[in-house]
Amino acid sequence: MYFNQMEFGQRIKELRSLKGLSQEELADEMNVSYEHINKIERARHGCSLDLLMEFSSYFAVSTDYLLTGRDYTNLAAKRKLQSVIDDLTAVMHSME
């Protein structure tokens, strides 16, 4: 097993997208620059342990998930919830 920077960046991007945040908004939440988030998501830059822990807390996922992709329980639940929300939104719009 090894750390894959590209996969780490993709996990951050996916979690950010699930929350409906832009890179700028996530940067504000994490108290870092937009460029830093952009470089993390594109696997051009790593992050400190402090920022890793902030990501973990903010997205309510384990650091293990962020680093290795394991323990995706919270992510799967969020995807399922988002799917239900999308379905209900579509039903609401069809009734208008």
Over residues 15-40, the pLDDT tens digits come to 999 999 999 999 999 999 999 999 99
Name the domain count of the chain: 1
Domain extent, residue 44, equals: 5-95
CATH of the domain at 63: 1.10.260.40
Over residues 52-77, the pLDDT tens digits come to 999 999 999 989 899 998 865 666 77
DSSP state letter for 90? H
